[in-house]
Amino acid sequence: MKTLKRILAVLVLTAFAAAQKPAAKPAAATPASGPIAIVGGKLLTISHGTIENGVLVIDGGKISAVGKAGEVKVPKGALVIDARGMTVYPGLIDSENHLGLTEVSADKMTNDLIEMSDEIMPHMHVADAFHAESSLIPVTRYNGITNAVVAPDDKDTLPGQDAFIQLAGKNANEMLLIRDLALPMDFTGEQRRNESFEKAKYPQTREGMAAQLRQTFISAQEYQQKWEDYRKTEAAGDKKKEAPKRDLKLEALVPYLQGKKPVVIAAQESNDVETAVRLANEFHLKVILNRVSHSQEILDEIASWKLPVIVGPIYDEPKDDERYDAVYSLPAQLARRGVKIAFASYDSHNARNLPYAAGYAVAFGLPYDEAMKALTLNPAEIWGVADQLGSLDAGKVANVVVADGDPLDVKTDVKHVFIAGQAVPMVTKQTILRDEYSR
Amino acid sequence: MRTISRLRLGIGLACFAVAAIPLHAQNAAAAPAKDVLVKNGTLLTVTHGKIENGDICLHAGKIAGYGHDVRCAADATVIDATGKFVTPGLVDSHSHIALDDDVNEATSPVTPHMMMIDAFNYDDKAIYRILAGGVTTSLLLHGSANMIGGQAVVIKHKFGLGRDAMLFPNAPQSIKFASGENPKRVYGSRGELPSTRMGNFEVQRAALQEARDYMRDWDDYNAKAKSGDKDAKPPKRDLKLDALADVLRGKLLVQIHIYRADEFLTEMSIANEFGYKIRAFHHALEAYKVPAEIASYGAAIATFSDWWGYKYEAYDAIPWNAVLSMRKGVRVAIKSDSSDFARRLNQEAAKTIRYGGATEDEALRMITLDPAWIIGVDDRIGSIDVGKDGDIVIWNSPPLSSYALADKVLIDGEVFFDRSLPGFGLTRYKSPTAAEVQQ
């Protein structure tokens, strides 16, 4: 693997150097500092409609101006990118994937997806395993995905804390924008430990999972109380009292039990969704719903909770008593009920296909604008970064994509990707192999 | 085509000999009595381009005419395709649906006498869900645990009919071979042969040599018996060797699961050494590294559009594989190998337009005529041509996009799926009432 990586590094460098030569590829030659003007494209601003023949200016890593041609001044000395016939849109946000936690799925040594030794692992931090140099990251951003929520695998009820990343940067520190973003709580039945009586281990059942979660939350509340009491006595000048022993597992849960950060509840069947949400309500958790793929019977109830929902994967196959399009049409069904939705790929290698799921949801009734929002502004709002990301607005971070057509169509080719105002080289492990073998 | 009819003749015999299973559908549904006239659609014929405002007449289950001024019976059932797009039924040349969990008889690396028809579960709803995506024919293959696996079954997706009615009548018999990581992992994990690629190919050669010896023993015996030698003793019949003898006699279409470039070369040399022909390389993710060799050999590839990285031998996969290989003269099919992807093969094929610039005709051919060739039925399905089976999909919009939905799917001149129908949208399946089905 090491040799391979070294070869790759050399290849990337060579390719990068090659890409910088021709003047026809202005993006790769962009200086880090100067302004960039994307001119003549159709701007999907998300926040304020579509602008035909628009101009978008990037300066200092931010979007500095957005508007119609003629109304927006192209700064002197700006690098101009001709976007006539192109679509310009905000970088897409994948609301759950596993980038940086896996390289080759079947090769254990390249996987850091899930700690299976226990079901309650809130003190695992995705940020601690995130591999910034993974070849999957350039492959994904090549399709216009600029940000993602990286989650552990869902085989534990509490598998660890998500990170919010940007898909470019010189190292992990630059790419990890929010380290402990949210706490996934997985309640799909997958987390049960062995179903046979011979090999049973707690929690063997859903009631076991629920009891274990309750016990954990109560222990964490008690832990928090102990520390609060201690701090009070300490503040009152009582130095004699011994500090409680630190417990990293319980400590990790405190901000979530205080409602300071969101818990992402993944459940699929109606009864699981209801059970998990009931449990969350007992502890006043701040909830983001996830998956709900087989909950068609309770969509009105879900809507009444006013919770955001991460939809999909819409490619989950319907159950045998469901119509073929029962899951494909779920985003449309939720959006129709006023639910704020966001798309997730739940993938790693195929995370690049995120926009196509949204496109297919449109085919099954989701309004196009809602689909674009569910890839941009909605996730930015859900994850608390809407002041920075999710739309083409002056002042936001310049995560901008230029493509030769409709972002949601499989035929569309992405031409330029800007992340934090920098043109990302359109070079991946795969383009290098393509170029090597098309000679 | 001569080869194929000869093959088919041989295969009928082989099947009786091997497992005494007549593969001819005995009680296939009778061809519909009434003609069907598909009127005024955009016909994507695959073999002769696009025809605007075209009609197709289906008579006795076959395409009787297409284009303009098409004659059809006066009482023909008319399907208005105004504003819609009409393609041949899609063909999936690599599927494992409807076999329940009986995909791999992984108890020996050589199992050519396994007949997938013995595991075929015609009641599997995957057949329906894939029909709803426009697929009318699938090749159901043995898995890839064994270097030489079992013999495939070809089905038409006539969901709602019985087993025999779903079998593709008189389709040539295919056999599955494998190579690479899967066999070596399965048997290596048990401390058995093979656990390396060296072992893999040696197991394959040894089995073929054994079959050669077996054939010679039979030839010797037959010669003696013919010359009146009453003492001649027949060799013991062995189903496994009977099947391998059919491989050596060229009676079976050899379909090889394969990834790495070097393995293509080895498989072709083994085939040459033992005198059989490889029909297609499946997965074939590194075909782009040896396309000239594959093209001059004359095998097709059945590949994914963009899957990669799920194991080490898939790490060099690139989404340009299909088009790079095609441009070097390789016949290319896009296949699913998945009950999920099979539901939207049209989107998978459309990706080749983006990755490498396939034309719409080329992309469509990869999911119709070329997979039909791999299965050996390209003289009967895969294009809109007079005399071919009446397998037709009517799409609500251009099929090579994120947005296309199959409105109606006809097989042998009969509508089997109609999206506008309540419930499951099936015509021949006693589906629950609309109210009972989750929309």
- Cα angle B415, B416, B421 (rounded to 5 degrees) comes to 90
Mutate to test the interface with B, among A410, A412, A413 (most CBs of B within 10 A): A410
The shortest C-alpha distance from B88 to chain A (Å) reads 21
Which of B32, B81, B1, B56 shows the shortest CA–CA distance to B383? B56
Q: Which one of A317, A413, A430 has the shortest CB-CB distance to B354? A: A413
Smallest Cα–Cα separation from B353: which of A411, A424, A408?
A: A411
pTM > 0.80: yes or no: yes
Q: Whole domain around residue A66: which residue ranges?
A: 2-90+425-437
Query: Is A115 found in the same domain as A58?
Result: no
Query: What residues form DSSP beta bridges with B414?
Result: B411
In a domain, A403, yes or no: no
Q: Which two tokens stand for residue A409?
A: 């169509």
Nearest Cβ partner of A317 from B306, B312, B340? B340
A359 in contact with chain B, both atoms CB, cutoff 8 A: yes
Would you state the pLDDT for residue A24?
36
Q: Which of residues 151-210 of B touch A (CB under 8 A)?
A: 181
Instruction: Give the CATH number of the domain where residue A78 resides.
Output: 2.30.40.10
Residues 6+ apart with CB under 8 A from B176: B141, B142, B143, B144, B146, B148, B149, B150, B151, B152, B255, B256, B257
Question: B288: which chain A residues are within 8 Å (Cβ-Cβ)?
Answer: 433-434, 437
Cross-chain Cβ contact A324/B343 below 8 Å: yes
Q: Do A321 and B438 touch (CB under 8 A)?
A: yes
HSE (side-chain half, CA atoms, 13 Å) at A16? 13
**Nearest residue to B171 via CA among B374, B364, B428, B386:** B374
What residue ranges of chain A have pLDDT lower than 70?
Answer: 1-32
Q: Are residue A245 and residue A105 in the same domain, yes or no?
A: yes
Measured distance CA(B201)–CA(B206) in Å, rounded: 8
Q: How far is A285 from chain B (nearest CA, A)?
A: 31
Q: Test B438 with A318 for CB contact under 8 angstroms.
A: yes
Whether residues A241 and A350 share a domain: the answer is yes
**B36 and B410 Cβ atoms separated by less than 8 Å:** yes
In a domain, A396, yes or no: no
Instruction: Answer yes or no: do A30 and A155 share one domain.
Output: no
- Residue in chain B nearest A108 by alpha carbon: B311
Domain-embedded: residue A47? yes
Distance CA B28, CA A386 (A): 60
- Which of B358, B281, B373 shows the shortest CA–CA distance to B319? B358
The pLDDT, as a whole number, for residue B29 is 56
Does the ipTM exceed 0.95?
no
Burial of B264-283, coded b for 16+ CB within 10 Å and e otherwise, reads bebbbebbeebebbbbbbbb
Residue A111 pairs in a beta bridge with A102
Distance CA A37, CA A173 (A): 29
The answer to whether residues A137 and A245 belong to one domain is yes
- Residues A267, A160, single domain; the answer is yes
Task: Quote the CA–CA distance of B239 and B18 in Å, as a whole number.
Answer: 6
In the block, residue with structure tokens 């085509």: B1
Chain A residues with CB inside 8 Å of B404's CB? 363
Identify from A336, A411, A427 which residue to disrupt to test chain B contact, counting B C-beta atoms within 10 A and taking the largest count.
A411
Confirm whether A418 is domain-assigned: no
Which residues, in sequence order, are CB contacts of A186 under 8 Å at separation 6+? A154, A155, A156, A157, A158, A159, A266, A267
Strand, coil or helix: A150? strand
**3-state SS record for B184-211:** HHHHHCCCCCCCCHHHHHHHHHHHHHHH
The answer to whether B421 contacts chain A (CB < 8 Å) is no
Query: Looking at the structure, do residues A211 and A308 belong to the same domain, yes or no?
Result: yes
Residues A49, A183 within the same domain? no
Q: Write down the pLDDT at residue A13.
A: 38
Task: Give me the residues of B, 106-125, that contact A with CB < 8 A.
Answer: 125
A320 and A217 within one domain: yes
SS (H, E, C) A178-200: ECCCCEEEECCCCCCCCCCCCCC
| pLDDT tens-digit profile, chain B (439 residues) | 333 443 333 333 333 333 333 333 344 456 777 999 999 999 999 999 999 999 999 999 999 999 999 999 999 999 999 999 999 999 999 999 999 999 999 999 999 999 999 999 999 999 999 999 999 999 999 999 999 999 999 999 999 999 999 999 999 999 999 999 999 999 999 999 999 999 999 999 999 999 999 999 999 999 999 999 999 999 999 999 999 999 999 999 999 999 999 999 999 999 999 999 999 999 999 999 999 999 999 999 999 999 999 999 999 999 999 999 999 999 999 999 999 999 999 999 999 999 999 999 999 999 999 999 999 999 999 999 999 999 999 999 999 999 999 999 999 999 999 999 999 999 999 865 666 665 5
Q: What is the layout of strands, in order, in the sheet containing A145-150?
A: A92-97, A145-150, A163-166, A176-178
Q: Are residues A104 and B404, on separate chains, in Cβ contact within 8 Å?
A: no
Note whether A106 and A75 are same-domain residues.
Answer: no
CATH number given to B31-89+382-439: 2.30.40.10
| CATH number of the structural domain spanning residue A272 | 3.20.20.140
Residues A83 and A202 placed together within one structural domain of the fold: no
Which chain A residue is nearest to residue B341, measuring alpha carbons?
A: A315
Nearest CA-CA partner of B286 in A24, A179, A181, A430: A430
What tokens does B35 get?
């003609």
- pLDDT score, position A163: 98
- Tell which B residues from 285 to 304 touch A, by Cβ distance under 8 Å: 288-289
In a domain, A59, yes or no: yes
Q: Is residue A65 part of a domain?
A: yes
A105 lies in the same domain as A72? no
**Chain B residues touching A352 at Cβ < 8 A:** 306
Question: B334 - beta bridge partners?
Answer: B303
CA distance B108 to A119: 37
CB A154 within 8 A of CB A186: yes
Are B139 and B152 within 8 A, CB to CB?
A: yes
Amino acid A313: pLDDT: 85
- CB contacts of A361 in chain B (<8 Å) are none
Of B288, B340, B436, the CB nearest to A315: B340
Residues 353-372 of B with CB under 8 A from A: 353-354
Give the CATH architecture of domain B90-375: Alpha-Beta Barrel (3.20)
Nearest-angstrom CA–CA distance, A88 and A56: 9
Q: Name the domain count of chain A.
A: 2
Q: Assess if residue A416 is contained within a domain.
A: no
**Would you list the domain boundaries of chain B?**
31-89+382-439, 90-375
- A387: distance to nearest CA of chain B, Å? 31
What pLDDT score does B434 carry?
60
Identify whether the C-beta of residue A74 lies closer than 8 Å to the C-beta of residue A383. no
Are B271 and B278 in contact by the 8 Å Cβ rule? The answer is yes
Q: Is residue A415 part of a domain?
A: no
Query: Is some CB atom of chain A closer than 8 A to the CB atom of B398?
Result: no
CB contact A410 to B (< 8 Å) = yes
Give the pLDDT score at A240. Answer: 81
